[in-house]
Homo-oligomer: A and B are copies of this chain.
């Protein structure tokens, strides 16, 4: 059975509790539920959220070998964490970066990702659908 890691970065634990006009009113728990439903039985999803950059790196390092893919929403670390970038390229795990909102229509600094260059691709703006689209990519690839 294949394994997909789903990593959420800083402040994404607040999903659904704050700023609903930007991020909707569904929680991180709802998102995880939603993803589990979308995943076929033969795929295991391992969820992780942390506000600490280095803990995200620890998690990726420890789980990358048993995993077939990584869906990551690095939150604000998207824009400056070369350390997370290095963790992804060092472990060479197949990765899709996702964002709930369209980062390209927000502040200037949010439009640049230092992580996307080492990913398979990037999906932004589809709400929770961004995660689903990434998951589907891995499901299709597996088949």
Instruction: Check: A29 CB closer than 8 A to any chain B CB.
Output: no
Copies of this chain in its oligomeric complex:
12
* B54/A55 in contact, CB under 8 A: yes
Tell me if A86 is interfacial: C-beta within 8 Å of chain B.
yes
Give the dominant DSSP class at A's interface: helix
User: Chain A interface (Cβ within 8 Å of chain B)?
Assistant: 9-11, 13-14, 18-19, 50-55, 57-58, 61, 75-77, 79-83, 85-87, 89-92, 96, 102, 104-105, 109, 111-114, 116-126, 129-130, 132-133, 136-137, 140
Contact of A51 among B19, B54, B125 (CB under 8 A): B54
Set B11, B54, B122: member contacting A87, Cβ < 8 A: B11
A105→B116 contact, CB < 8 A: yes
Asked, given contacts A57-B51, A121-B125, A124-B122, whether A11 binds B104 with beta carbons under 8 Å apart, the answer is no
Pick the contact of A125 from B54, B83, B120 — CB < 8 Å? B120
> Complex Cα distance A90/B50, Å?
16
Give the docked Cα–Cα distance between A143 and B119 (Å): 31
Q: How far is the CA of A121 from the CA of B117 in the complex (A)?
A: 18
